[in-house]
Structure 1
Amino acid sequence: MLHKINLEHILFLDIETVPESERFDQLDDAKQELWEQKSQYQRKDEFSAEEFYDRAGIWAEFGKIICISGGYFHLKGDMRTFRTTTFYGEESQLLKEFKKLLDSHFNQPKHLLCGHNGKEFDFPYIARRMIVHGIPLPYKLNLFGKKPWEIPHLDTMELWKFGDYKHYTSLKLLANILGIPSPKQDIDGSMVRQVYYEDNDLDRIINYCELDVVTTAQVFLRLRNDDLLDESEIKKV
């Protein structure tokens, strides 16, 4: 079934997020109380709300997007390239720029968005943050009223589940077992907050995000039993 999908119709994407403020004490009293209530189940009695705040970027209500990386295939005869680009900077502006990409180049019924755990994290997170900023949802993220088979989203983690709802497999693990070359990453997801707020090194985060997009595309190719991308086929635009 996956072979029936034209690779050029898929936008692969990944986002990186951080807490909306660097420190818990920078939140107003109301937001601190709301965070304490929101995080109570996850942190239980092991951490205070303040100690747990470095994980706030996971929730769209308490975090923000600092970059969105996208990748897409370009096929011409026997030539194949995979092009990546990243939207970054102030959240409202990067979301508007990403929406413009979707509205202008990925707005047809045949077009699909693909991420690893995208249905549970990336896609709803982007939609929620757009609503927070008063940005009209693009067609590909506006799911209101759509039937399950009308939702234009692919998820490599869901594809790997094969109907097993309890199973979780990280992108790194999936790449390893599928024989996909591990990208040379100097950070992981747990370090993004520190690299952003303490090291002020957004370029490292962008590179990490783009590498995850490439790896997601590679996983999708393996699920189709297609040849993996060679490094020479990957272009940054």
Structure 2
Amino acid sequence: MIEKINLNNILFLDIETVPETADFNSLDSEMQALYEQKTQYQRKEEISAEEFYDRAGIWAEFGKIVCISVGFFVIKGDVRNFRVTSFFGEEPKLLKDFNNLLNNHFNGPQHLLCGHNAKEFDIPFLARRMIINQIPIPDKLNLFGKKPWEIPHLDTLELWKFGDYKHFTSLKLMCKVLGIPSPKGDIDGSQVGHVFYVEKDIDRIVTYCEKDTIAVAQIFLRLRREELLIEEEIIHV
């Protein structure tokens, strides 16, 4: 039961991704053709691959990570803090920095990773981009040969499904129904690419990503029927 998990052993996370290039025409002709094939079932017939390119960030083969935000509890006696930090900048460096965090501070058998829809999106995306960038996959992301009960991942979406595999609930909707202040600010996931390539405002993306990470932690607390974090308990480092 999740009530028995030590909060200090969980690393909460969220990632933000964008298309790997600023526009479709920046891809070479082979990648353009491959993207057209990849998306043929997602696009309506009247929508071209070029017009659909703003969605490229949802696939690790055609997107890249521009921010990883993580948060963890530090609980000592009656004092509870939640520390949030982010890795951003060039993708190889942010992946290496995140890798180092996992290997040096969250690599024990008791440690768990937690995100919203992380098992379907964030964690596979991280692992694939590490392979593409020729970065060793840390043990916490390497699932090969592990039995289901040995996988060190928690997923708030999966916890909310209660075995209903067809059910999907967004982070924003979960926050609403559970009485958690909405994590969303002035942008949403569909606008991250524009903010990154056109506005060139990485700070805005970092803020958005960190709010989602905090929201995941708040949902996890609510699922345990514990008091939500208040602003004074959240520390940005």
- Identify whether the pair has TM-score above 0.5, normalized to the shorter chain: yes
Identity over aligned residues, as a percent?
68
Secondary structure at the counterpart of residue 113 of structure 1:
strand
Name the counterpart of 1:234.
Answer: 234
Aligned residues: 237
Q: What amino acid maps onto 1:110 in structure 2?
A: Q
Contact kept in structure 1, 2:184 and 2:212, CA below 8 Å: no
Gaps of 5+ in 2: none
Q: Secondary structure at the match of 2:95?
A: helix
Aligned counterpart, 1:215: 215
Which residue of structure 1 lines up, in the alignment, with residue 81 of structure 2?
Answer: 81
Structure 1 residues 39-54: aligned runs within 5 Å:
39-54=39-54
Secondary structure, aligned partner of 1:43: coil
User: Counterparts of 1:177 and 1:186 in 2: how far apart (Å)?
Assistant: 21
Cα distance in 2 for partners of 1:74, 1:221 equals 14
TM-score (norm 1): 0.99
Could you tell me which residue of structure 2 aligns to residue 103 of structure 1? 103
Quote the residue 1:33 is aligned against. Answer: 33
Q: Does 1:2 align with 2:8?
A: no
Aligned pairs for 1:1-237 within 5 A: 1-183=1-183, 185-237=185-237
Q: Could you list the runs of 5+ residues in structure 1 that have no partner in the other structure?
A: none
Amino acid at match of 1:154: L
CA distance in 2 between counterparts of 1:53 and 1:15 reads 19
Which amino acid is 1:80 matched to? Answer: R
Moved over 2 A (4+): none
Tell me the distance in 1 between the aligned counterparts of 2:236 and 2:46. 43
TM-score by length of 2: 0.99
1:64 counterpart letter in structure 2? K
Q: What is the deviation of 1:181?
A: 1.4
Q: Distance in 2 between matches of 1:159 and 1:183?
A: 19
Rounded to whole Å, the distance in 2 between the matches of 1:38 and 1:181 is: 37
Answer yes or no: is the 8 Å Cα contact 2:172–2:184 preserved in 1.
no
Distance in 1, Cα, partners of 2:215 & 2:90: 26
Q: CA-to-partner distance for each residue in 1:16-47, whole Å, 9 max, x for gaps?
A: 00000011000001100000000101003131
What's the Cα RMSD here? 0.7
Taking the aligned partners of 2:224 and 2:146, their CA distance within structure 1 comes to: 27
Q: Supply the distance in 1 between the matched residues of 2:171 and 2:183 (Cα, whole angstroms).
A: 11
**Partner amino acid for 1:39?**
T
Q: Which moved more, 1:106-115 or 1:182-191?
A: 182-191
Q: Distance in 1 between the 2:47 and 2:224 partners?
A: 44
Local SS of the residue matching 2:65? strand
Q: Distance in 1 between matches of 2:86 and 2:65?
A: 12
